[in-house]
Amino acid sequence: MSRIAVFGTGYVGCVTAACLSRDGFQTIGVDIDAEKVAALNAGDSPVAEPGLAELVAEQVAAGRLRATEDFREAIAETDIAMIAVGTPSDRTGAVSTIAVEKVIESIGQSLRGTDQSYNVVVRSTLLPGILENRLTPLLAESADSVLGDRIQICNNPEFLRESVAIRDYDAPPFVIAGASNPAAGEEVLNLYRSIDAEKVVTDTATAAMLKYACNAYHAAKIGFANEIGALARSFDADGQQVMDLVCRDTKLNVSRAYLRPGFAFGGSCLPKDLRALTRHAEEAAMKVSLLRSILPSNQEHLDRAIRLIEDRGKKKIGLIGLSFKAGTDDLRESPFVTLVETLIGRGYDVKIFDPGISISRLKGRNLAYIDQRLPHLAALLVEELDQLLSHGELLVLGNDIADDVDLKARSEDEIVDLRRCLVTPDHERVNA
């Protein structure tokens, strides 16, 4: 059975150490704070957390948990390090890695010249890239060893909340191990074998990003609920009831819907209704910065798409799909209309294939919108997909109207799929 050294015995480290020893692992807490070490060794919890004092007392008495300030001794007696030291903001707002780097260096130095196998698991919250570009070389250099065989480095972000930390440790949303070596990832998951949760091994950057995505999402949810509540109050509506009902829609609201990164949104409702809300806030002298930031954020995503296309260096563009989603001919505020308008303005030769759109059938506001934004749309539309394929140098996929067509078999053009290419790492994209 693995023996574990937990570096940092604060909220995350102490809960982790106590729960790991409860689950049968021989565990040593390591901290530079002598008071925390002494408290742990006396069977007291160094942090206030419901249930933790009892658990620490029980585990110390059972001889499975102890603490030390001596890094070398802790490393010599263990197989796995869990790093749970603080990563506060520095003066610029960037994540401070000073404590993590010190621990990594000490671990490396302790392993230098030995044949000890060791798995270094970063549990502290760090931006993607720090483990790969800073900690990995630091560990390799200080251990004077190539990583990947005897010495591994992984991450294992923590999702617990203070005040219910033990409960969250025991019932996490998932257990994530980030590892470049699958066996090292499995070794991390094995620490949680008595915990009933989905367990996933992924790459270290994805694991690190997941933690930030969760916290950013939680913060955005709170900000959103508060802004909707404040707006509701200004209308004399009941914000609590509004948000309660919002949450009861598990089809579109509290669900996976709209949570897949892809292309910008558009259509006849979302932009218009966001503008109405933020305009009302302005008139009521209210600040709703989160809601106000959504349309600019959407425009920034559209700008990324334009840059992506421009970076390909091709002038003849074939766009598949013009309406904001397949199956509608509603072009009002379609982000693809804005995309085409911008590309044409910059001298691109654009043709569009969208069988759902017929100029003669466009009416009312839909027609007025197109007349204003793309008056020459008729000249840009082609009726057959083959016409588009013979025109372009670069195929741009907008909506899903051609998803059942094997474009790669029919065209040698480079393909940019706006639903994937803006958000998928280059190494995972297969020409689309």
The closest alpha carbon to 87, from 135, 52, 48, 49, belongs to 135
**Residue 9, interface with ligand NAD (CB under 6 A)?**
yes
In angstroms, give the least distance from the CB of 191 to ligand NAD. 16
Sequence-distant (≥ 6) Cβ neighbours of residue 307 within 8 angstroms: none
Q: Say which amino acid occupies 426.
A: D
Decide: helix, strand or coil at residue 69.
Answer: coil
Cβ nearer to ligand NAD, comparing 124 with 152: 124
- Of these, 21, 87, 110, 119, which contacts ligand NAD (CB under 6 A)? 87
Cβ 30 vs Cβ 5: under 8 Å: yes
Smaller CB distance to ligand NAD: residue 31 or 187? 31
Contact between 82 and ligand NAD per CB under 6 A: no
Rounded to the nearest whole angstrom, what is the least distance from the CB of residue 130 to ligand NAD in the complex? Answer: 11
Residues contacting 24, CB < 8 A, separation 6+: 1, 64, 194
67, containing H or E segment: strand 65-68
Q: Which of 53, 57, 99, 189 binds ligand NAD (CB under 6 A)?
A: 99
Give catalytic status of residue 269 as yes or no.
Answer: yes
- DSSP letters, 146-165, are -TTSSEEEEE------TTSH
Q: Whole-angstrom Cα distance, residue 118 to residue 71?
A: 14
CB nearer to ligand NAD: pick between 9 and 27: 9
Q: Is 31 in the site for ligand NAD (CB under 6 A)?
A: yes
Per CB under 6 A, the list member of 5, 6, 8, 382 interacting with ligand NAD is 8
Asked if residue 84 binds ligand NAD (CB under 6 A), the reply is yes
Binding of ligand NAD by 32 (CB under 6 A) = yes
CB atoms within 10 A of CB 176: 25
- Segment interacting with ligand NAD (CB under 6 A) among 58-66, 96-104, 188-196, 314-322: 96-104
Identify the H or E element spanning 58: helix 52-61
Both tokens of 385, joined, read 């997909």
H/E stretch holding 30 reads: strand 26-30
Residues 256-275 that bind ligand NAD (CB under 6 A): none
Per CB under 6 A, the segment of 27-35, 271-279, 280-288, 406-414 that binds ligand NAD is 27-35
Backbone angles phi, psi at 33, to 5 degrees: -90, 105
Distance, in Å, from the CA atom of 14 to the CA atom of 180, rounded to the nearest integer, reads: 27
Q: How far apart are CA 1 and CA 3, in angstroms?
A: 7
Contact segment (CB under 6 A) with ligand NAD among 153-161, 328-336, 338-346, 379-387 equals 153-161
Q: In this structure, are strands 175-178 and 65-68 parallel, antiparallel, or unpaired?
A: unpaired
Residues facing residue 202 across a β-bridge: 178
Among the residue ranges 84-92, 289-297, 349-357, 398-406, the one whose residues contact ligand NAD (CB under 6 A):
84-92
Does 162 interact with ligand NAD (rule: CB under 6 A)?
yes
Token digits for 311? 């970076």
Question: Pick from 37, 55, 74, 103: which binds ligand NAD (CB under 6 A)?
Answer: 103
- Site membership for ligand NAD, residue 178 (CB under 6 A): no
Stretch that binds ligand NAD, among 85-93, 229-237, 265-273, 288-296 (CB under 6 A): 85-93
Stretch touching ligand NAD by CB under 6 A, among 6-14, 55-63, 185-193, 301-309: 6-14
- DSSP letter for 361, please: G
Residue 127 or 380: the one with the smaller Cβ distance to ligand NAD is: 127
Nearest residue to ligand NAD by CB is 10
Beta carbon of residue 309, minimum distance to ligand NAD (angstroms, whole number) = 38
- Alpha-carbon span 387 to 381, nearest angstrom: 10
Q: Per rule CB under 6 A, is residue 12 in the interface with ligand NAD?
A: yes
Whether 339 contacts 302, CB under 8 Å:
yes
Backbone φ, ψ for residue 73 (5° rounding)? -65, -45
Q: Which residue out of 19, 154, 214, 269 is catalytically annotated?
A: 269
* Residue 124 vs 334, nearer CB to ligand NAD: 124
**Does the protein bind ligand NAD through residue 13 (CB under 6 A)?**
yes
Does 86 contact ligand NAD by CB under 6 A?
A: yes
Given its phi and psi angles, is residue 321 left (phi above 0), alpha (psi -120 to 50 degrees) or beta? left
Task: Kindly state the number of chain residues that form the binding site for ligand NAD, as judged by CB under 6 A.
Answer: 25
Kindly list the residues in this chain that would bind ligand NAD in the complex (CB under 6 A).
7-13, 30-33, 36, 84-87, 99, 102-103, 124-125, 158, 160-162
**Active site positions, annotated:** 269
